[in-house]
Amino acid sequence: MAIVLFFQHAHFPRSVLIISPFISFIFVGGIRFAIRATRHIRYKTEGENPSRMLIFGAGDLGEVVLRDIQRNPGGRRVVGFLDDNALKHGRSIHGVPVLGGRDKIADVIKRKEVDEVLVAVNHSRGKIITDIMGVYAAAGNPRKVEFKTLPTMNELISKTRLTPDIRKIDVTDLMHRRIVDINMGLVKSGVKGKTILVTGAGGTIGGELARQVCALKPARVILLENHNTALFYIDKELKEKGYGGVIVSVPGDIRDESLLKNLFELYKPAWVLHAAAHKHVGLMEDNPQEAVKNNTLGTYILARTAAAYNTERFLNISTDKAVRPTSVMGASKRLGEMALSSLHGKSGTKFMSVRFGNVLGSSGSVVKIFQEQILAGGPVTVTDPEVIRYFMTTEEAVSLVLNAAAMGEGGEIFVLNMGEPVKIVDLARNMIVLNGLVPDKDIEIKFTGLKPGEKMYEELFRAGDIRKDTGHNEIFAAVPAEAGAGLTDAHRDELQQLAALPDIEPMLAKIKEFIPAYTGWPRKKAGAHHPAHKPEPKD
């Protein structure tokens, strides 16, 4: 067309064909350039005091965040990157320099007047965050900053819109955890259309069991809980989520045999998920009779009832404190495992237990205690500088528990892969930093010594235990050295009689008899303080 106009229309100004493309390019390109230029100006000038952000991680995730902030500043300005890859040092990303590695964080925060530190990495995030905060704290917190993070690239890609969701770092980010493989399809096939009984449904684990099971389309979920207020709140929560037609809330105790008989007669649960327990170590040290009544005898009563009504699966929530126990609580949970062993193979019910460590944010957890102490101005109390513990999130622990329940063949003691243990004093220091304070300056860390029943470290397996693979990378099976040990009717009668006595010594002696690995604590008469913890035997 342009050729026809150029050669055949003599009165048509041919210069238009040459000038028009240039004018079009100037207008179209100029508009696009103006948009970019104004965005850049807004990024430079938006707000009188934009928050100055330092990004740790000069990879894909960090670059995505930078581009999003440059396009939509939202009161933020990125002043630099840090990265452990020395090859990136001295370079720039979209005009923002990479200023060094993690060892430079305190210097850069001070020099660049940083307000926010964003950790934008995809791998080993927990360790990186704790290391960075350790370097920052060691430098005396040169400037008050907020530490933040965001989802990994895999998490972002799974969303419909690739938008970084910047949030404050919380305690779960400090754990050296990794993404675990959870096969909820296997669980759903076992739960769908069936009646599930959850004991201790108002507690941290029981409540999360109820939430996850309700989402798998069961016919009914029975919530059994002896704490009325806790039951009220989990009942209210599940009804507000739309599960009112599924749940049946029952205030009651696992030791109430007539109640259990009525529940099993009426609803005939296919699965029992047993999370009811006395779990606080210190309280159970002073009340061993109550620990045995609930954690041992109560577990047996519930399990015996389940067997009588042909329940398909019975999963007992145990604890890593049942491994070579030093506490009455741990010993009572080990006795509960032994009670299940005595029932295994005598009915069609598949009995199994699962052990794991501390759950973040559970009632009475060290994390909640530390936060309360920090808000009160300190001191933060830690038992010993060398104490370490395993931690899991509630959601992760419960998902793996349900996997174990679905895959079990009966008779197993499952052990969850707890990842790397965390030093409690490091957790305390990092929580202080997260609150914008300086450990040992703004908030004192006070060492109090181990309490009765506590260990320096928790164990997942004993030296004599056999560890077996289950086909799941995060779930193992432990075969204890005394694998054949169970509780006979005579044993249970003895425990029942001793639990009715006011004197705790006969109960402690009987626990030691049934569990030779139980070390216990030396005790003084009532009114005296417990002595310091004796060294733990090597097994």
As annotated, the active-site residues are 321
The stretches of 244-393 forming alpha helices (DSSP H) are 257-267, 281-286, 288-291, 299-308, 328-343, 366-375
Nearest to 410 by CA among 307, 293, 492: 307
**Residue 224 in tokens:** 């059994």
Where does residue 259 rank: exposed (0-12), middle (13-18), buried (19+ CB within 10 A)? middle
- Whole-Å CA distances, 420 to 259, 423, 536: 42, 10, 21
Nearest to 352 by CA among 404, 278, 399, 283: 404
**Residue 427 in tokens:** 């957790």
| Beta-bridge partner residues of 447 | 382
- Of the chain, the end-to-end C-alpha distance in Å amounts to 94
Place of tokens 């047993």: 274
Length of the chain in residues, anyone? 539
Rounded to whole angstroms, the Cα distance separating 469 from 535 reads: 32
Evaluate whether 362 touches 275 at the Cβ level (below 8 Å).
no
**Residue 260 in tokens:** 């259990």
Quote the radius of gyration of the chain (alpha carbons, Å).
30
HEC per residue, 407-451 = HCCCCCEEEECCCCCEEHHHHHHHHHHHCCCCECCCECEEECCCC
Rounded to whole angstroms, the Cα distance separating 496 from 411 reads: 24
Nearest to 427 by CA among 207, 162, 126, 186: 126
Rounded to whole angstroms, the Cα distance separating 401 from 398 reads: 5
Strands 413-416 and 475-479, sheet pairing: antiparallel
Place of tokens 């069609």: 348
Where does residue 489 rank: exposed (0-12), middle (13-18), buried (19+ CB within 10 A)? exposed
CB neighbours of 77 closer than 8 A, spacing ≥ 6? 43, 44, 50, 51, 52, 53, 69
Per the rule left: phi > 0, alpha: psi between -120 and 50, beta: everything else, 457 is beta
CB neighbours of 136 closer than 8 A, spacing ≥ 6? 105, 106, 109, 117, 142, 145, 433
